[in-house]
Amino acid sequence: QKEVEQNSGPLSVPEGAIASLNCTYSDRGSQSFFWYRQYSGKSPELIMFIYSNGDKEDGRFTAQLNKASQYVSLLIRDSQPSDSATYLCAFARSGYALNFGKGTSLLVTP
Contacting positions for other proteins (CB under 8 A): 32, 34, 38, 42-46, 49, 86, 88, 92, 94-100, 102-103
Query: What is the C-alpha end-to-end distance of the chain, expressed in Å?
Result: 39
Closer residue to other proteins in complex, CB, 44/108: 44
Nearest approach in angstroms of CB 78 to other proteins is 25
Judged by beta carbon, residue 75 or residue 87, the one nearer other proteins is 87
User: Smaller CB distance to other proteins: residue 17 or 100?
Assistant: 100
| CB-nearer residue toward other proteins: 40 or 110 | 40
Min dist CB 104 to other proteins, Å, is: 11
CB of 99 to other proteins, least distance (A): 7
Nearest to 61 by CA among 50, 77, 72, 49: 77
